[in-house]
Every structure is written in structure tokens, then in C-alpha cells.
Amino acid sequence: MRNGTVLLLLAALVLAGAACLTAPGTGSASAATVASTDSGAPSAIVMFPVSAKPNPKGSAMTPTVFNHLNHEKAIEKCETCHHTGDPVACGTCHTVEGKAEGKFVTLERAMHATDIHKRTDQNTPSSCVSCHAKQTRERQECAGCHAILTPRHDAAWCATCHNAKGSMTHQQLRAGIEGTLPLEENEAIAAKAEQAQKPNRLLTPMHGPYKVSIDALSEKYLPSNFTHRRHVSSLMERIRNDKLARAFHNSPAVLCSTCHHRSPLSAKPPKCGSCHTKEIDRMHPNRPNLKAAYHLQCMGCHKGMNVSRPKDTDCTTCHKARP
Ligand code: HEC
Ligand code: HEC
Ligand code: HEC
Ligand code: HEC
Ligand code: HEC
Ligand code: HEC
Ligand code: HEC
Ligand code: HEC
Ligand code: HEC
């Protein structure tokens, strides 16, 4: 249903001329695949559902292209990922079924776990997903939006990593799973898959209103004049060149859905008041009422990004007192 909506939205954009779409690109494609690494690791490598069995049960996932060059530039220590100290393939110890060398931590867990406890006697391992989530929490330019949203972790999210489909033959897939695929062949597949990646296109701040007068509750105060375009452009500008954000913000209206949440992705989102009522809705006791919805969202992001003005207590910056 969501995909359908996105398609409709895309179709509408094409009809409208699509003149002002940004094309930020994933950036990593051509340049990264020719440049070599300092570590001696391949610039980009395909990771397979490594298994002792040729057709492991449950290994339905498309293999993943991992860009080592981007990662080793962005992450200071090799041991953050190569947690045992040996820079060898994760599949040496973590397989689809799990094996003794990896204390039966499966490949799936090693790649996606987000509940990894801190080790004191050795390096704390990171999964792909746990480190990405850490980036969104710890970097100020990401932390505002990410403090107020719950990622869907939908099929498009899986496909951002599991992206090497169509770039290899069935024999190559089998060899990859068995661990017998020659390195040069692996690198060639990775390069082909990276080249095949299309840049994500996002709506721009111009697709939203310039200012919005929020007045659904206005009683004690005058309506709140929300600087919509300034907000959206300021948030997007800060992350324009970030490769992780560019890869994972992967449908046109996704950044709009930070605030316009829980509804189909759209450039014409429903009003907050269509789901958040003035008084707590008995049917949805966990849903904040409308005033709390605004306050929690506005202030949640400001806090996450350390926005210094307005302070939460500067009540009359967001809504002037009635004269
Ligand atoms: C941040 C990157 C990333 C995301 C997002 C991601 N995966 Fe993976 N996943 C990997 C990597 C890397 C591997 C190991 C190589 C491989 O099998 O492709 C893997 C392996 C797996 C495996 C074990 C191998 C197999 O085929 O049995 C499963 C199952 C899996 N992923 C399912 C999913 C599902 C379902 C989603 C979405 C809900 C998802 N993954 C999202 C990176 C990711
Ligand atoms: C962000 C995580 C990350 C960082 C940081 C990182 N690596 Fe890697 N490295 C990987 C992953 C994932 C693979 C692919 C493993 C696989 O194929 O299962 C890999 C593969 C390698 C390989 C190839 C291993 C093989 O046998 O296929 C080498 C060599 C390597 N890394 C060395 C290094 C060195 C040296 C550093 C530090 C300068 C480093 N790596 C930093 C994640 C990382
Ligand atoms: C030499 C074997 C070996 C290699 C290579 C290896 N691991 Fe591990 N890994 C282990 C062992 C053993 C454990 C369990 C140790 C523990 O619990 O502290 C583990 C645990 C983990 C965990 C924690 C899972 C949990 O349940 O908390 C993650 C995540 C992980 N590994 C990711 C990786 C990634 C990513 C790579 C490749 C970059 C990798 N590992 C390479 C042996 C290995
Ligand atoms: C320790 C942290 C860390 C781990 C672990 C990690 N990543 Fe990343 N990832 C990053 C950072 C930081 C970036 C942005 C890199 C840049 O700005 O060049 C990134 C970028 C990406 C991107 C988008 C840009 C690109 O290089 O294609 C993808 C896709 C990705 N990671 C997949 C993975 C997969 C798959 C794994 C696990 C095998 C993984 N990452 C493990 C931190 C991590
Ligand atoms: C304007 C708001 C906004 C900003 C700023 C933002 N994001 Fe996101 N991001 C989103 C939304 C919304 C999603 C959820 C997509 C979904 O699941 O529907 C998301 C999802 C993601 C995901 C996939 C979910 C996950 O946890 O793995 C990653 C990775 C990500 N963002 C990285 C970043 C990084 C890195 C930055 C900062 C450089 C950043 N984002 C800044 C709105 C934002
Ligand atoms: C970050 C911006 C922001 C800050 C700071 C803020 N508010 Fe609000 N507040 C809003 C928005 C947006 C609304 C919804 C306005 C509407 O619908 O009329 C709202 C609505 C209200 C309302 C209901 C509307 C009315 O006129 O009666 C009250 C009461 C209120 N806020 C009190 C406060 C108080 C007291 C403070 C300071 C402790 C405060 N707010 C700080 C954004 C803010
Ligand atoms: C930082 C949060 C935030 C982001 C990001 C955001 N919006 Fe909004 N938008 C709002 C708020 C708050 C309102 C007022 C809603 C209400 O009171 O019902 C609004 C209202 C709107 C309206 C209704 C305008 C009117 O005059 O009634 C449209 C259309 C809209 N947004 C489109 C977008 C689009 C398109 C994007 C992405 C390009 C976007 N928004 C991104 C917060 C945001
Ligand atoms: C289509 C319905 C819908 C719309 C429109 C909507 N919300 Fe929500 N909102 C929800 C739901 C559902 C929840 C989760 C609580 C629940 O299950 O009832 C939620 C939760 C929240 C929360 C609590 C934190 C969280 O994310 O769970 C805040 C804050 C919030 N909404 C603010 C807003 C604001 C501000 C707007 C307008 C920009 C808005 N919402 C528009 C349905 C909606
Ligand atoms: C997703 C993050 C985010 C959300 C949600 C958000 N803000 Fe902001 N806000 C910012 C940032 C970042 C700034 C810093 C100003 C800049 O860089 O342009 C800011 C600045 C402001 C300012 C001072 C500058 C100006 O434009 O007047 C006001 C007032 C303000 N916000 C009101 C609001 C109100 C009202 C809401 C809720 C309806 C809200 N903000 C929601 C991120 C956010």
C-alpha cells in the first residue's frame, strides 16, 4: 500500500515536470570503486549469506555490497568492526547457521543486532544496523529528526543493503555462499552493483508551504507562525552531502514524514489535528493530545539538535501572547 502511494506520488511529480527535484545521488558509485584503500581491503566487496550448506535454509536475502573505502575513511579504528582484531571476513566466524568460532552468533545477528551489550574485557562488536543507528543518535545534524521518529525498517530499508540483485550469475551466488568465489570476481560484481545504483530523489523544501499559521488551539496565545520552508531547508542542508543519509533516505517524501508521520508518504499530508484531538482520545489513550503533540515534536527536535533559540521556556517565541 505504501509503495503504491509512492508510485502515485512519483507519477504526479513526473506529470508536474519534476523540475525542482534534487538528485543528490548515492555518490559512492564510480569514484569509490576505482580508488583503492589504505587497509588493503577491497574498495567494495559483496557479502554473501555464508553457509556450510549450498542452499541454506532461510537464506533468501540478496547479497550485500559493502563499500570498505567509505567505511574505513569514516570510522577511526579497524577494531570497531573487526572486533576480534583480525581483519578477516565476518563469515569466517558468523554463518547463516552460526558456528563455534563465532560462539554461534549467526550472520543475521552479527549484521543486524541492536541490543549488543558493552564488553569490558574486549572490543564491543558492532553490527551494520547498530552502528548506523548510533550515527543517527550521536551526530547533531541527524539527532533532531531521529529523536522524534521511529524508522519503519521496511522492505526498502532492507533493499538499501541487500542490493546486489541482478549483478551476478547463479553459479557466482553459489560460490559466494560456499566461500569459493575468487576475490577479483567478487570485486567485479561489487563494482557492477554499485554502478547500477540509482540516486534517491527527494522532495525539496519548495514542495512544502513557506509558512504555516498553526491555530487549531489558539486561545491563550496568538497562532504560532511556523517557518516551514526555513525548517525543512535548514534540516536538509545540514545532511546534503552525507553518504549514509543519502543512501537510506530512499523515497521522495520520506523526510517530510519525520513530522508528518503515520500516514502514507505524500506532499499533501493530513493535519496533525486529524489524528490528535484536543482532549486525549479514549480509543487511543497512548496518543498525545494536540497541544502535547505539537510541544513534544517541536521541542523534541530542538532538544535533540541543541537548538539554542527558542528555549522550551521561551513560550512567546513560538506563540505571541494575546494583546
Ligand atoms: C545496514 C545494512 C543491512 C540492512 C538494513 C539489512 N541487512 Fe540483512 N544483512 C546485511 C548483511 C551485510 C548481511 C550478510 C550478507 C548477506 O547475507 O547479504 C545480512 C544478512 C541477512 C540475513 C542472513 C543471511 C540469509 O540470507 O539468511 C538475513 C535473514 C537478513 N539479512 C535479513 C534482512 C531483512 C529481512 C532486512 C530488513 C528488515 C535486512 N536484512 C536489512 C545487512 C543489512
Ligand atoms: C565499518 C566497519 C569496518 C571498518 C572500520 C573496517 N572494516 Fe575491514 N571489513 C569490514 C567488513 C564488513 C568486511 C567484509 C567482510 C566479509 O566479507 O565478510 C571487511 C573486510 C576487510 C578485509 C578483507 C578480508 C577478507 O578476507 O575478505 C580486510 C583486509 C580488511 N577489512 C581490513 C581492514 C582494516 C586494515 C581496517 C582499518 C584500517 C578495516 N578493515 C576497517 C568492515 C570494516
Ligand atoms: C575470528 C572469529 C570472528 C570474526 C572474524 C568476527 N567475529 Fe563477531 N563474534 C565472534 C565471537 C566469538 C563472538 C561472541 C563473543 C562475545 O559474545 O563477546 C562475536 C560476536 C559478535 C557480535 C555480537 C552479537 C551479540 O549477540 O551481542 C557482533 C555484532 C559481531 N560479532 C559482528 C561481527 C562483524 C560485523 C564481523 C566482521 C567485520 C565479525 N563479527 C567478525 C567471532 C568473530
Ligand atoms: C562502526 C560503524 C559502522 C558499521 C559497523 C557499518 N557502517 Fe555502514 N556506514 C557508516 C558510516 C559512518 C557511513 C557513512 C560513510 C561516509 O560518509 O562515507 C556508512 C555508510 C553506509 C552506506 C551508504 C554509503 C555506502 O558506502 O554505500 C551503506 C549502504 C552502508 N553503510 C552499509 C553497511 C553495511 C552493509 C554494514 C555491515 C556489513 C555497515 N554499513 C556497517 C558506519 C558504519
Ligand atoms: C529531516 C529529518 C531527518 C534528518 C535531518 C535525518 N534523517 Fe535519517 N531518517 C529520517 C526519516 C523520516 C527516516 C525513516 C524512514 C522510514 O523508515 O520511514 C530516516 C531513516 C534513516 C536511516 C534508516 C533507519 C535506520 O535506523 O537504520 C538511516 C541509516 C538514517 N536515516 C541516517 C541518517 C543520518 C546519518 C543523518 C544525519 C547525517 C540523518 N539520517 C538525518 C529523517 C531524517
Ligand atoms: C517550540 C515552540 C513552542 C514553545 C517553545 C512553546 N510552545 Fe506552546 N504551542 C506550540 C504550538 C505549535 C502550539 C499549537 C498552536 C495552536 O494550535 O494554536 C502550542 C500551543 C500551546 C497552547 C494551546 C494554545 C493556546 O493559545 O491556548 C498553550 C496553552 C501553550 N502552547 C503553552 C505553552 C507554554 C506555557 C510554553 C512555555 C513554557 C510554550 N507553550 C512553549 C509551540 C510551542
Ligand atoms: C520539521 C517538521 C516538518 C517537516 C520536516 C515537514 N513539515 Fe509540513 N508541516 C509541519 C507542521 C507542524 C505543519 C502544520 C500542521 C498542522 O498544524 O496540522 C505542516 C503543514 C504542512 C502542509 C499544510 C500547509 C497548510 O497551509 O495547511 C503541507 C502541504 C506540508 N506541511 C507539506 C510538507 C512537505 C511536502 C514536506 C517535505 C518536503 C514537509 N511538509 C515537511 C511540519 C513539518
Ligand atoms: C494519520 C494520523 C496522524 C497524524 C496526521 C499525526 N499523527 Fe502523531 N501520532 C499518531 C499515532 C498513531 C501515534 C502513536 C501513538 C498511538 O499509537 O496512538 C502518534 C504519536 C505522536 C507523538 C508521540 C511520539 C511518537 O512518535 O510516538 C507525537 C509527539 C506526535 N504524534 C505529534 C504529531 C504532530 C506534531 C503531527 C503533525 C505534524 C502529527 N503527530 C500527525 C498519528 C498521527
Ligand atoms: C526536526 C527538527 C525540528 C522540528 C520538529 C521543529 N524545529 Fe524549530 N528549529 C529547528 C532547527 C534546526 C532550528 C534552528 C534554526 C535554523 O537553523 O534555521 C529551529 C528554530 C526554530 C525557531 C527560531 C527560528 C525561526 O525560524 O523562527 C522557532 C521559532 C522554531 N524553531 C519553532 C518551531 C515550532 C513551533 C515547531 C513545531 C511546530 C518546531 N520548531 C519544530 C528544528 C526543528
Chain segment 29-69, per-residue pLDDT in tens: 343 344 788 989 999 999 999 998 876 554 568 999 999 99
Residue 10 has pLDDT above 70, yes or no: no
Residue 103 has pLDDT above 60, yes or no: yes
Burial 145-165 (b: 16+ CB within 10 A, else e): bbbbbeeeeeebeeebbbbbe
Residue 314 has pLDDT above 90, yes or no: yes
Mean pLDDT for the chain? 89
Measured between its terminal Cα atoms, the distance across the chain in Å is 48
Question: What is the distance in A from the centroid of ligand 9 to the CA of 146?
Answer: 15
Nearest Cα residue to 199 out of 27, 7, 6, 11? 27
Question: What is the distance in A from the centroid of ligand 5 to the CA of 250?
Answer: 9
For the segment 13-40, the average pLDDT, to the nearest whole number, is: 48
Q: Residue 61's pLDDT is what?
A: 86
Question: What is the distance in A from the centroid of ligand 8 to the CA of 46?
Answer: 39
Nearest Cα residue to 300 out of 263, 267, 254, 259? 259
What are the grid coordinates assigned to 277, written together?
484531538
- Taking residue 116's Cβ as centre, other Cβ atoms within 10 Å add up to 16
Residue 146 pLDDT class (50, 70, 90 cuts): very high
Closest ligand 3 atom to Cα of 90 = 37
CB 82 near ligand 3, within 6 Å: yes
Residue 274 pLDDT class (50, 70, 90 cuts): very high
Percent of the chain with pLDDT over 90: 82
For the segment 108-136, the average pLDDT, to the nearest whole number, is: 97
Q: How far apart are CA 46 and CA 64, in angstroms?
A: 6
Q: How far apart are CA 73 and CA 28, in angstroms?
A: 13
* Ligand 8 residue neighbourhood (C-beta within 6 Å): 259-263, 270, 272, 274-276, 284, 286-288, 293-294, 296-297
For the segment 115-142, the average pLDDT, to the nearest whole number, is: 97
Nearest CA, atom 15, ligand 3: 103
- Taking residue 285's Cβ as centre, other Cβ atoms within 10 Å add up to 7
* Half-sphere exposure in the Cβ direction for 134 (13 Å, CA): 14
- Which residues, 6+ apart, have CB-to-CB distance to 180 below 8 Å? none
User: Residues 59, 53: contact at Cβ < 8 Å?
Assistant: no
Is the link from the previous residue into 310 a cis peptide, with omega within 30 of 0? yes
* Half-sphere exposure in the Cβ direction for 42 (13 Å, CA): 20
User: Residues 289, 276: contact at Cβ < 8 Å?
Assistant: yes
Residue 15 has pLDDT above 50, yes or no: no
For the segment 254-261, the average pLDDT, to the nearest whole number, is: 98
Residue 128 has pLDDT above 50, yes or no: yes
Question: What is the distance in A from the centroid of ligand 9 to the CA of 247?
Answer: 25
User: Residues 218, 294: contact at Cβ < 8 Å?
Assistant: no
Mutate to test the pocket of ligand 6, among 298, 314, 319 (most ligand atoms within 8 A of CB): 319
What are the grid coordinates assigned to 132, written together?
548506523
- Which residues, 6+ apart, have CB-to-CB distance to 251 below 8 Å? 6, 156, 200, 265
Residue 190 pLDDT class (50, 70, 90 cuts): very high
Q: Residue 263's pLDDT is what?
A: 96
Mutate to test the pocket of ligand 8, among 261, 277, 318 (most ligand atoms within 8 A of CB): 261
Ligand nearest to the CA of 309: 9
Q: Is 85 exposed, middle or buried (0-12, 13-18, 19+ CB in 10 A)?
A: exposed
For the segment 206-222, the average pLDDT, to the nearest whole number, is: 98
Closest ligand 4 atom to Cα of 66 = 35
Pick the range with the lowest mean pLDDT from 10-14, 215-219, 272-276.
Answer: 10-14
CB 201 near ligand 9, within 6 Å: no
Q: How far apart are CA 101 and CA 93, in angstroms?
A: 5
Percent of the chain with pLDDT over 70: 87
For residues 152, 200, 169, 64, the Cα torsion angle rounded to the nearest 10 degrees is -50
CB 74 near ligand 4, within 6 Å: yes
Question: What is the distance in A from the centroid of ligand 8 to the CA of 297?
Answer: 9
Q: Residue 31's pLDDT is what?
A: 38
